[in-house]
Amino acid sequence: MKILAIDTSNQPLSVAVLEDGNLLSQATCTKTKNHSVKLLPLIERLMEDARLKPCELDRIVVAKGPGSYTGLRIGVATAKTLAYTLDKELAGVSSLEVLAAAFPKTEKSVLVPLFDARRGNVFAGAYRYDENGLLQTVMSDRHIAVADLCEEFASQNVIFVGRDAQAYSDLINEKCKNGTISSFGFNYPRADILGMLGEKEKCVDVNDFVPNYLRMTQAEAQWLEKHPEGKMSMTPMLKKFKTGFNRLFGSKNDGQLEFKCRNVKVKGYEYLFVRAVVPDIPEILDIERAVYKGQTPWNFENFEAQIREQERTLYLVVRHNDEMVGFAGCDMKYATYEAHITNIAVLPPYQNLGLGQMLIKTLIDEADKRGLRKVSLEVRQSNVNAHEAYRFAGFVDRIVKKDYYTDSPAEDAIEMVYSINANKRKERMTNG
């Protein structure tokens, strides 16, 4: 069996090509977390090194999580696209199991692979080799406080595996008297191990397969109970890859507003700008609550309708260190040559750092690309800080909309507009 294995679940990026359990080519990058840029060229190079054509593959295997939200999305989306387009089998393997399986076989200790999940929490599982040398699950993968994890294994011989374990060495040494931290050589994922594990896994349906985020499980489950038809269906997107797939990688999003995810640096902070998908909505609502004092001016259904309207609307989310920190939405009204910003919000700790201005600029640029002449929005008359921010971005007042906001008490809105052509002329005059 010829396998392409992909692990983007955390900062390390690992890809391997295998045939019948033999490694043909492999590469692991540990320095930077820029999988959206590096993954596809790396796959292409490794396929060339292995002297295999994409059509010769039998199965795509991907690390399904837990781990980095953004990393998982990139890896799973790529694996699903390739599997669908090439009509190949698809299998997913626990990212934690991959770490455990790379550690030398030992019957004396429990292996606890872990990834940092911030704020004193980790993603962790527990595994043990049986007398036949087979890896068995002792504790299922979960999101857990480090202190609770140490307490659970305090009396056992345990080896903590993974590069993030070192950050909690003091707590591990204090709480786990029989615990040790694995050496450097076993702290990184290996795609060849992923591929060998994936060869034994049952295949999954390409359309139904989703990453194992763990932190999102509850929110997703609650949403899916109400919306059983909305299971991260990728069929519409994948069909677009199917048509005219002449090279290993390429896409054509006919009928959809294209937006390529990008890394953006604003005042020393690195952000990832990416198009929103329906499973992002629970996090979007969390930002709303943080910005609007516990309220959600837009509910789940409002956001869902906008995000699913791919031909006319563009909704973006912004992530910093895998945390969603902002979002913005825009309705492209081609008939009137005007784009209307429907939503924009930034988490309070990231406000006044230029992120809001960058979101506005991004939407203006996207409107300009599509030949639109103006960008408009509404803002509460009482929101003086927002008025100043929009005017700084180049917006001017157009009209007052009486009782536009119908919550109690009702409040007027100021409609503001940005003239793309006028501001371009101003920029040209300023630059000389």
Three-state SS sequence of the chain: CEEEEEECCCCCEEEEEEECCEEEEEEEECCCCCHHHHHHHHHHHHHHHCCCCHHHCCEEEEECCCCCHHHHHHHHHHHHHHHHHHCCEEEEECHHHHHHHCCCCCCCCEEEEEEECCCCEEEEEEEEECCCCCEEEEEEEEEEEHHHHHHHCCCCCEEEECHHHHHHHHHHHHHCCCEEECCHHHCCCCHHHHHHHHHHCCCCCCCCCCCCCCCCHHHHHHHHHHCHHHCCCCHHHHHHHHCCCCCCCCCCCCCCCCCCCEEEEECCEEEEEEECCHHHHHHHHHHHHHHCCCCCCCCHHHHHHHHHCCCCEEEEEEEECCEEEEEEEEEEEHHHCEEEEEEEEECHHHCCCCHHHHHHHHHHHHHHHCCCCEEEEEEECCCHHHHHHHHHHCCEEEEEEEEEECCCCCEEEEEEEEEHHHHHHHHHHHHC
CA distance 71 to 211: 10
User: Which pairing describes strands 374-380 and 411-419: parallel, antiparallel, or unpaired?
Assistant: antiparallel
**Catalytic positions:** 378, 390
